[in-house]
Structure 1
Amino acid sequence: MNRMVALGLLLLAAGCKTDQGEPPAAKYKIELVKDVKAGVIWSLNFGPDGRLYFTDRDRSRVELSALDLASGNITTYASSAAVRDEGEGGVLGLELDANFATNKKVYICYSYWKDGDSSVEANARNRVSSFVISGSSLTGELKLFDDMLGWWNHNGCRVLLSPDKQYLFITMGDAAAAPSNVPGEPDDSQKAQSKKLLAGKIFRIKLDGSIPTDNPFYNDPEVSGQAKAMWTLSHRNPQGLAFDPATGKLWSTEHGPDKKDELNLIKPGYNYGWPDCMGTDPCPAHPPYQPAAKEYYSDRTIAISDLTFYRADAFPAWKGSLFFVTLKTGRMYRLELSGESIAEEELIVGNLNDQAGSYGRLRDVTVGPDGFIYSSTDESKIYRIVPDAQ
């Protein structure tokens, strides 16, 4: 890794409780892995070949890139699928198939124009498709979940395999000011509360795009068509999604409007309140309601983004921790959970007085096969956190 540039120690965890059998506090530093010099590095996934696969939001066609960490070389695989590249739309969520080593299949959530017509704003949409890497291309697009409402912002679009590798979970924002495409349904942020609109939801589908019959709304008389894929509803803009390997529970992060970004425990069939309730507020009008496990903060927003759980060995003191990153403040947080509550919180990157963030807007976070923690930025950079022996 001689190309990596150490950028210095940001924060040093203090204290050592080895007399209680606990591992020493983690000492770490931040390194620049690669300046991609492109657009927003939206999603990071390590492949079984050790390469770091990622999406660049700002592309006119669906593309996937792979970074060889040893050489620094990037290989890009392009498809013919046209992208709605506007604002927060573009090439977004990425997940690799469980059998990627042999089938080279990937799942990508991207923005597009319905019927290819960008002259009508109401044509803004998002979809999840599978592709296969073949040679230097992405081929064989299979549209799995389509016609989700889109806009220049609030497109959600994280994609995640279930722990049993049988299902895909998909986040979708409320599509902001996008008009309804179902007669009689709302055109404003109340779209998230509608059981008929594919906006402001988390969905669950099978890998072939079919909808599981045990989904919580599958037999709801108000729900038809693709809306049967709803797992939860009433989200503003869920930007992160991760399963806790220790418990199997699903967690998500969500943007608040100007305050109360959320860390949520996702429970099937539950209402998450938007736009009528935010954060940890009570919400008796929308049972069954699940308030945020924690809100950030009551008077401002940090633009919370993706999250991951740490189960590797490079940082023994962090095993089992949840990590998430933020856009507006460029921070990385480490949380220790106790059931459905937050037992401990530590700021790993950034500080509470730094509103800009020394490393820019942190978009995604993942753990590498080396046990190091990798994050991407909206400024086309990829960083990692490594142990510091000093």
Structure 2
Amino acid sequence: MPPTARKLAVGPCMVALLLLVLAGCTDTAVGGPPASPGAPPPGSSAAAVAPALDVAVVAEGFDHPWDVAQAPDGTLLVDERSGGFTAVLPDGSVRDVRADFGDLFAQGETGLMGLSLDPAFGQNRRFYSCQGVRWDGRTSLPASIAVIAWTVSDDWSSATRVADPLVGGIPVNARTGRHGGCRLAFAPDGALLVGTGDVADGGVAQDPRALGGKVLRVDPATGERAVWTLGHRNVQGLAVRAGSGQVFAVEHGPDRDDEVNLLQAGGNYGWNPGGGGYDESVPMTDRGIPGAIPAVWSSGVPTLAPSGATFLEGQEWGAYDGLLLVALLKGQGVLALRLDDDGALVEQFRLPELEGRYGRIRSVLQGSDGALYLTTDNGGGEDALLRVAPRR
């Protein structure tokens, strides 16, 4: 079935119907002990005033959507790992955005991944993707992971590459596509942040010359780049805390210790599986590395496979205002982290309305309208873009 036949938007009337149905069946209890649903810790402010949430399907029929961004006019832009951009317009209609993916390398965990709109999108119609690329569209030899800059037409019908690549040379695992990263976000000072994976190569994360296993700072106008932090295994999420300058990275651990890290310029986050092999039995943070920075949050055992992250803001969210929300793939839900002003962990719980009901969650974004937008990652053309908002 062609993509345009599969991606269906849910119109305003259907959304209203879904919200009425959800109002009757949604569990309004608040999440609880670390990394699991249930009652919150004693004394938690979230226990008394957390809002009940309504969840509605905005569009469906996607296959492994990786990221979502929202334009100032409310249009939602979604990408899929195997290639393709889709726009969901403010009136609810769904439009395929024509774009050239002839050189896309999509294998395993790598493909079309992170997505971010330029802060001046309203004026320049510019956005950025992070994706695996081949040498050209005729060979099967992957070259790298690249950040590409695009402009999109006013009617969202097509996108054109304008910096191809903006950043190249990020390593890729040519055999499996493993640990390809790759998340994008804008820092408060306007730098484009690029979170990358170590491509399952033991020497990459600690090599300051390699672009894998890092968070990069990139000038979005020129592509000039610098390694900002190193010692990462597989960065899957980046979240900027408004008004603080704090940036948090989310990454996958091996068989334990997924992490959320507060990034510091020049910081080393301690992943060091060895230059002569790839020893995944080592700790996620090797304390033997001078100055290795411990995680703000760690999953312990079992891992949850955290992915995209966003800070939640707005009085309508009640006790959820200010939380860092993290999408969970293996954990199949959304993890909520309450942090103090310095970025230290105060409390963690899971959002009950999303717990195990929609399968794997890849990305979570607070949109310009204050609502949350989530992409599922279950495959088989069965994935959806969800809208989550406090029940009124």
Could you tell me which of 379, 383, 387 is aligned with 2:386? 383
Distance 2:90 2:81 in 1: 21
Alpha carbons of structure 1 residues 384 and 292: separation in structure 2 relative to 1, 3 Å: same
Distance 1:349 1:324 in 2: 14
Q: Corresponding residue for 1:127?
A: 146
**What residue in structure 2 maps to residue 159 of structure 1?**
184
Q: In structure 2, how many angstroms separate the alpha carbons of the residues matched to 1:312 and 1:51?
A: 20
Of the three residues 267, 272, 293, the one matched with 1:290 is 293
What is the SS of the residue equivalent to 1:325? strand
**1:344 and 2:347 correspond:** yes
Map Cα deviations across residues 5-50 of structure 1 (whole Å, 9 max, x no partner): 24442442399xxxxx999612223423234212111111111011
Measure how far apart 1:130 and its partner are.
0.6
1:272 aligns to what SS in structure 2? coil
The answer for the alignment partner of 2:9 in structure 1 is: none
Aligned to 2:211: 198
> Which AA in structure 2 matches 1:197?
A
* Matched residue, 1:9: 26
| Structure 1 unaligned residues grouped into runs of 5+ | 16-20, 177-187, 212-225
Change (3 A) 1:132 1:316: same
TM-score by length of 1: 0.81
- What does residue range 258-269 of structure 1 map to in structure 2 within 5 Å? 258-269=255-266
Preserved contact between residue 56 and residue 388 of structure 2 (Cα < 8 Å): no
Select between 309-318 and 359-368 the one with higher mean Cα deviation: 309-318
For 1:320 and 1:23, locate their aligned partners in 2 and report how far apart those are by CA, in whole Å: 15
- Gap regions ≥5 residues in structure 2: 1-11, 32-38, 40-44, 274-281
User: Are 2:242 and 1:245 equivalent residues in the alignment?
Assistant: yes
Counterpart CA distance in 2 for 1:319 and 1:195 is 37
Distance in 1 of aligned mates of 2:358 and 2:219: 37
1:127/1:22 CA distance change after superposition, 3 Å: closer
Distance 1:76 1:232 in 2: 34
What are the residue-to-residue correspondences of 1:113-262 with 2, within 5 Å?
113-116=134-137, 118-120=139-141, 123-134=142-153, 136-142=157-163, 143-151=165-173, 152-165=177-190, 167-176=191-200, 188-211=201-224, 229-262=226-259
Change (3 A) 1:110 1:321: same
For this pair of structures, how many residues does the alignment match? Answer: 346
Structure 1 residues 311, 27: CA separation in 2 closer, same or farther (over 3 Å shift)?
A: closer
Match of 1:38 in 2: 62
Tell whether 2:275 aligns with 1:278. Answer: no
Give the whole-Å Cα distance in 1 for the aligned partners of 2:366 and 2:291: 34
Displacement after TM superposition at 1:119 (Å): 4.0
Q: Please report the RMSD computed on the Cα atoms of aligned residues, expressed in angstroms.
A: 2.6
Deviation at 1:84, TM superposition (A): 0.7
For 1:341 and 1:80, locate their aligned partners in 2 and report how far apart those are by CA, in whole Å: 41
SS at match of 1:191: coil
Contact 1:363 1:377 in 2 (8 A): yes
Residues 49-94 of structure 1, C-alpha deviations (whole Å, 9 max, x = no match): 11111111122xxx42211254243342423552112211111111
Does 31-40 or 236-245 show the bigger shift?
Answer: 31-40
- Residue 29 of structure 1, aligned match among 36, 47, 53: 53
Aligned-pair identity in percent equals 31
Distance 1:346 1:117, change over 3 A: same
CA offset at residue 346 of structure 1?
2.1
Letter in structure 1 aligned against 2:97? T
- Deviation of the 1:117 alpha carbon: 6.3
Counterparts of 1:278 and 1:31 in 2: how far apart (Å)? 37
Counterpart secondary structure, 1:37: strand
SS of residue in 2 equivalent to 1:85: coil
Aligned AA (2:249): S
Q: Deviations over 1:300-331 (max 9, x none)?
A: 21101111011123213222111111100112
- Calculate the TM-score normalised by the size of structure 2: 0.81
Name the structure 2 match of 1:111. 132
